[in-house]
Each structure stands twice: as C-alpha cells, then as structure tokens.
Amino acid sequence: MFKGFYTVASGMIAQQRKTEILTNNMANANTPGFKADQSTIRSFPDMLMSAVKSTTLPTENGLTLSSASPIGALNTGVYLQETLANYTQGTIYSTNFSTDVALIDTAMPVDADSGSKGSIFFRLENPNGGEAYTRNGNFTLDGQGNLVNSNGLHVLSDTGERIQLANDNFQLTPEGAIYDENGVQVATIGVSFSANPDVLVKQDNGLFQTIDGTVLPTAYGQDGVVFAMQQSYLEGSNVDAARSMTELMTAYRAFEANQKVLQAYDKSMDKAVNEIGRV
C-alpha cells in the first residue's frame, strides 16, 4: 500500500516540474533569443517481487528448505532526469533599430563525443568575472556610449574589450565588423563557439555560462563554423507555442490522474484504519 503512495507521489512531482518548465517556455515565447527547455522523464528501476516459502521435509531431523517464487516486477515511480535547452535557430524578424543584431547559424559542426550540434553566442562581460553568453541581440547604448544588452551587460569585441560608439548611426557587416558614420572600423562583435552547448549552465535573462567559469573559444576561424550577423534584426524565441500548450495539457492530465489514484489510496487506508481495525 505504501509503495503505491511513493509511486504516485513521484509521478505527481515529475509532472509538476514538467509543468513549471513548459509554463516558463510559454512565458518566454516572445523573448528574443530565448531557447526552450526540454525535459526527460525516466522511471526508477523496477523491483522484482518474490514470495518466500519454507518447506519441511519429513526427515529424521526435520530438514527445512526455503524457496522463492517470482511474483513479478513492481514499478517504483518516475523522476525528471534532466532539463536541456533546445539550441535550434529561432525565427529572424526585423525591428528597424540599428543596435539590434541577429546571430544567424549557417553551418555548425557536430561534436563527435556527444553527437550534439555546436552553437554560437554573443560574448558579454560578466560582472562576477569571466564572460556570459547570449543569443539575444537586443542591444543598446548606455550613457557612456558602450554597447550593452537589455540587462546592462557590456557586449565584448572579438578581442574581449568593451565596444564604445559615438552614436547609434553605425553599420554592421555580416561578418560582425562595426563601422562608424565616417566609415572607420570601430570593432568586431565578439562571438564564441561551444562544441557541446548541452554542458552550458542556463541562467536568468537568457544568459549562459560554462560550468567551471572558463571562457569559450572564439567562433571566428573555427573549422566548420559558418555564421553571419544581420543589423536591425533579432532572433526570436524557438518556443513552439502550440506544441508547448499540448504538452502542458498532457502533463496536467497526468498529474490529475495521479492525484485520483492518490485519493483512492487514501480512502483505502482510511477504511483499513477505521473499519477493518475495529474487527
């Protein structure tokens, strides 16, 4: 009876966490550069149940033998194994703001060890040290003329320095080079490459970081990495709203079904304690 309680409870916890992930995806369906989270639910190893019996042989000393008869497997519940971001390219759309930049994946190599396709990111200065990374190119200029993202983090050049501009009247080439209004190259927007982006840690506000804080290598000159940038455009979220809504309803129904089973177990325990116990 209590094993059933644990199995049902684990199912409810897993579906609740999945619902939270899907809800967060839906809430960021219109966030530029947002990468949808994907969850994996797996079951705990099954327990093989056996009935142990004792048989007394009619010998002089009364020899007793024990034997086990297999009953079957008992499922012990499920759990949310991991959550990974989906790094596929989002839709590119026009904004008409010169400081907006869309990062376009043209060709990305596949990591031989993990089988995952690599991904590229804008380089940002992390206030806690090191670098942070994002796909959100919704940039602007701060009071000192530095190119920053929507959270005020400085955008770094390919040499790891802050990018300072006189005004927003500049031109960006597909290769990432920034030219001011006089046609002079000011900097090149920094872009980093991750061969296996699944190992990155997803932070708030669309930011990513490496697990140990190391700096990702530059995407410029990487074998098999082909990309471009488009000024006055942004990369939209890659959340599939219709699919996410369907999965959200499925997770809700699964949670509701587990809840009904839990209520049935609760009623059975109530009868066992208050009615059978009296007999």
The domain ranges of the chain are 2-83+246-276, 91-235
Residue 279 CA to chain centroid, in angstroms? 54
Cβ–Cβ < 8 Å for 150, 140 = yes
d(CA 122, CA 134): 5
pLDDT at 116: 85
- pLDDT band at residue 57, thresholds of 50, 70 and 90? low
Read off the pLDDT of residues 68-117 as tens digits, 9 standing for 90 and up. Answer: 778 777 777 888 888 889 999 999 999 999 999 999 999 999 988 878 89
Q: What is the pLDDT of residue 6?
A: 80
d(CA 132, CA 222): 20
- Quote the pLDDT of residue 277: 55
Q: What is the pLDDT of residue 261?
A: 86
Residue whose structure tokens are 């380089």? 123
Cα 134 to Cα 169: distance, rounded to the nearest angstrom: 24
pLDDT computed for residue 62 by the predictor: 64
Task: Give per-residue pLDDT as tens, 127-174.
Answer: 888 899 999 999 999 999 999 998 999 999 999 999 999 899 999 999
CA distance 149 to 99: 10
Return the percentage of the chain with pLDDT > 90, whole number: 61
| Confidence at residue 279, expressed as pLDDT on a 0 to 100 scale | 54
pTM for this entry: 0.81
